[in-house]
Each structure stands twice: as structure tokens, then as C-alpha cells.
Amino acid sequence: MRKKFWLDLIILSLVLCFSSVAFAKSLPTKKQTVLGLYVTAQQAFAKWHTNSDKIKILDVRTSGEYIFVGHAPMAANVPFKFLTGVNKSKKKLAMTKNKDFVKEVKKRFKKTDTIFLMCRSGGRSAAAVNMLAKSGFKNLYSVTDGFEGNALKVKTSYNLGKRVLDGWKNSGAPWTYKLDPNLVYAP
């Protein structure tokens, strides 16, 4: 009986290991991290909910996104990048990295903390994980679908281009516009 238990445990561990590797390979390159630790928004909330004293949530979006689009009520905000204008030729927002990002994160968290990093849809959080990993943080998970999720690409839908597929906001996890002064980024 004991042998079967250990064999089942080993098989389960191998399945989980290979499934996380397969999941990472299915992610776009810009959403992959050097640590290879990922959760979806739905998984992040479930894990935080069952272990809220050990898991921290870090929202790396701009303060404007955090304040006006909404945020997870327990998420601290330290922007990875700041909005600096509009790049008219690329028809995109122009953003620059927060030069104090690592310093500000170190003020709020220990290098040994388990932290789930979230941005709009998973790209900035992956870049933030990579930057923090270089400074010695080890237990960093990128929330692959972010707060708003991925944009719908069904051309016949009224929701074409809107972020309604996944993400924290669409997962059923709690979110708010209310601000906790202890969690909002204030340089």
C-alpha cells in the first residue's frame, strides 16, 4: 500500500512538471520568464485565498491603470513602467521603465516571499519577474492573463478587441476601485 502511494506521488509530480513545461512553451515569448513559474488569474486567486498569509500579489501596471481600471483588493501597486505619451507612428502608448522598480519592490517584499505579479495581460509582469529574479528574488510567478485578460479576436463579435476572455477581472475573483493608501504606489 505504501509503495503504491509513493509511486502515485512520483507519477503525479512528473505529470505536473511536464504540464507546466508544456504550458510555458505554449506562452508567447514575451510572457515567458527566466524562473518558469506561472499561474492564471483564476489559479492566483484560488492559491492566494487558501494561503493569504504566505502569498503576496503585486500589480505592476501604471498607477492610472490600477486606480481607474480597477485592481485586486489585496494587490500592492509598484509600476514596472510609466506612461510617457503616445508613439504616433506605432499607434501605441509610449512607456519607460521605472528606474526605482526593484528598490520599491524590496521596500514592500522580502526576496523569499512568494509573489504573484500581475499586469494588464501578462507581458509586463513577465519582464518584471525577470528583472526581480536578477536581483535575487526566487518565488515569483507571472499571472499569464493579467488583470484585464487577453483581447477577443473574433471579427464578428461586438467585443472584438476588448479584453473579455480571461484575466483577474473576468475570472470571478474580487476586484475593486477602492484605494488602500498602504497598497497604492506613491513615489
Q: What is the pLDDT of residues 151-162, one digit of tens each?
A: 778 888 888 776
81 SS3 class: strand
The C-alpha cell of 62 is what?
A: 501604471
89 CB contacts (<8 Å, ≥6 apart)?
A: none
Give SS3 for 38. strand
pLDDT of residue 4: 57
Query: Residues 147, 155: contact at Cβ < 8 Å?
Result: no
**Contact between residue 39 and residue 57 where contact means Cβ atoms under 8 Å apart:** no
What is the rounded distance in angstroms from the CA atom of residue 73 to the CA atom of residue 68?
Answer: 13
- Given a cut of 90, is residue 25 above it in pLDDT? no
Q: pLDDT tens digit string along 67-92?
A: 999 999 999 999 999 999 998 888 88
Measured in Å, how far apart are the chain's first and last C-alpha atoms? 58
Homologous superfamily, domain 27-170: Rhodanese-like domain (3.40.250.10)
Taking residues 83-108, what's their average pLDDT?
A: 93
Residue 185 — φ and ψ, nearest 5°? Answer: -70, 125
Pairing relationship of beta strands 81-87 and 92-97 according to DSSP bridges: antiparallel
Question: Cα(167)–Cα(27) distance, rounded to whole angstroms?
Answer: 15
Nearest-angstrom CA–CA distance, 107 and 91: 35
pTM, whole model, 2 decimals? 0.82
Residue 156 DSSP class: T
Backbone angles phi, psi at 34, to 5 degrees: -70, -25
Poorest-pLDDT segment among 12-26, 91-105, 114-128: 12-26
Q: How far is it, in rounded angstroms, from Cα 74 to Cα 178?
A: 11
The residue ranges of every structural domain in the chain are: 27-170
Q: How many CB atoms lie within 10 A of CB 146?
A: 29
User: Does position 13 have pLDDT exceeding 80, yes or no?
Assistant: no
Dihedral (CA of 41, 42, 48, 49) sign: positive
